[in-house]
Amino acid sequence: MIVLASQSPRRRELLAQAGFTFIVRAPAVEELHQPGESPAAYVERLAAAKAAAVQASGGASDDEWILAADTTVVVDAHILEKPTSPADAARMLRLLSGRDHFVLTAVCLRQGSRQWSAVESTLVRFSPLSESEIIAYAASGEPLDKAGAYAIQGLASRFIPRIEGCYFNVVGLPISLVYRLLRDAGYPA
């Protein structure tokens, strides 16, 4: 049985759409970037911490496969998490406007004492945005629970002319990577 260690409705949707059967146990893990930590190391550490927290919370049996993920957006040296307000979302959108950035998602799989993990990276190009577009999108509410302050599958789709890499990674869960980790780990198909 797969245990999804996530509160994200998008991750639940993507996993279900890909045909996986799972239950959800959302962990409580503080998401703080450590000084000097690379973006890839950051998301990988958080995904592993989420999986470990679910396993440590009790009730995890040896036949459970705990699946956790963490996503962040990186533009230049800036790590863009979920915005704290519409003003913070607008700040992030100004950074993204007319530029390329990367979406990084770490996936961690735990089964008993074994662990597998990997990081997916997708390049996303944002169109130049006017200040009125930024303010209107930030005020829509859509960016508030999304890393980088946008949802590629929602209203922000009109701002993204091109990506290089996994679309599902940008939504929040690189399904092909999840499948590969499960397959390589010996998860019963």
User: Where in the sequence numbering do the catalytic residues fall?
Assistant: 70
- Tokens in use for 31? 């998401």
* Residues, the chain: 189
Buried b (16+ CB within 10 A) or exposed e, 92-118: bbebbbeeebbbbbbbbbbbeeeebbb
Q: Provide the 8-state DSSP code for 62.
A: T
Which of 21, 44, 20 minimizes the C-alpha distance to 33? 44
